[in-house]
Amino acid sequence: MQNNNVSFTSKIQFVPWKTFTKMQKKNEILYFHDTPNILKADEFYSLDIRTCTGGGITKPSTGEGEGFHFWDDRITQRKANDNVISLIRFVKNPERGLILGGKKLDSNPLSIPLFYKFRDLISERVQNLTQFCIHKFENSQTHYHYDTQNDVWTICTEYGKTDKSPMRAVTSLGTLKNAFEKISIAPGDRLFIGEKEILPSDAPELFLKK
């Protein structure tokens, strides 16, 4: 019998690229134009989220998780509602979620509007949604992995302030704040950078209140 009084929390951990590449990973979510790029599995990962929108919804009480990687094109714009309905069809009554991505580029005008559209549609169905909204720099990208067994999101975000700048990974609270326009950690989620936990007292502006 499911205990509805159990409080589940997700661990969100930022790691550098070297650490991310050494992880054992399976079930890659690719990014095709003509498919929803949605996958339900015990673990999954996706790479190279730049102007796209990525993330997933989870139900830790039943060990379910589903990831996505949505293109920022007109096909996705037309099918945004259908894509979110598909998410909820396979993981019913999701308890938690995470969304990240988006970027301001003249060549990708749909990136930010689609990110916020997906965020709003998912927020209507998922009460606890952690958000890493809009990469700040043109030269930036994010990769993620999720494991249902441990309820852990492992994220690698890299950015360079110019096209000629070397890419640097999020390895501190300062670099995390530099990487995204807005960050909102859902109630109950725990944020780590490397092995260090970032507490609400360290950055109260990042943590949503219950």
Q: What is the pLDDT of residue 5?
A: 38
Is the pLDDT at 206 greater than 50? The verdict is yes
The reply to whether the predicted model has a pTM over 0.85 is yes
Instruction: Determine the average pLDDT of the residues in 116-144.
Output: 97
pLDDT above 90 coverage of the chain, percent: 89
Please check whether residue 176 is in contact with residue 132, taking contact to mean a CB–CB distance below 8 angstroms: no
| DSSP E strands, 50-136 | 53-59, 64-70, 96-103, 128-135
Q: What is the 3-state secondary structure (H, E, C) of 7-55?
A: CCCCEEEECCHHHHHHCCCCCECCCCCCCCCEEECCEEEEEEECCCEEE
Higher pLDDT, 7 or 32: 32
Is the pLDDT at 2 greater than 70? The verdict is no
Q: What is the pLDDT of residue 61?
A: 94
Instruction: Determine the average pLDDT of the residues in 134-155.
Output: 97
Instruction: Determine the average pLDDT of the residues in 125-129.
Output: 95
The DSSP code for 186 is P
Q: To the nearest whole number, what is the mean pLDDT of the chain?
A: 93
Instruction: Determine the average pLDDT of the residues in 99-118.
Output: 97
Burial 176-193 (b: 16+ CB within 10 A, else e): bbbbbeebbbbebbebbb
Structure tokens at 206: 């990042």
Q: What is the pLDDT of residue 121?
A: 97
Q: CA–CA separation, 67 vs 79, rounded Å?
A: 17
Contacts of 117 (CB under 8 A, 6+ apart): 77, 80
Dump pLDDT digits (tens) for 173-197.
999 999 999 999 999 999 999 999 9
Domain ranges of the chain: 23-202
Residue 50 confidence class, pLDDT cut points 50, 70, 90: very high
Is the pLDDT at 6 greater than 50? The verdict is no
User: Among the CATH numbers 3.30.1340, 2.60.40, 3.30.1330, 1.20.81, which is that of 23-202?
Assistant: 3.30.1330
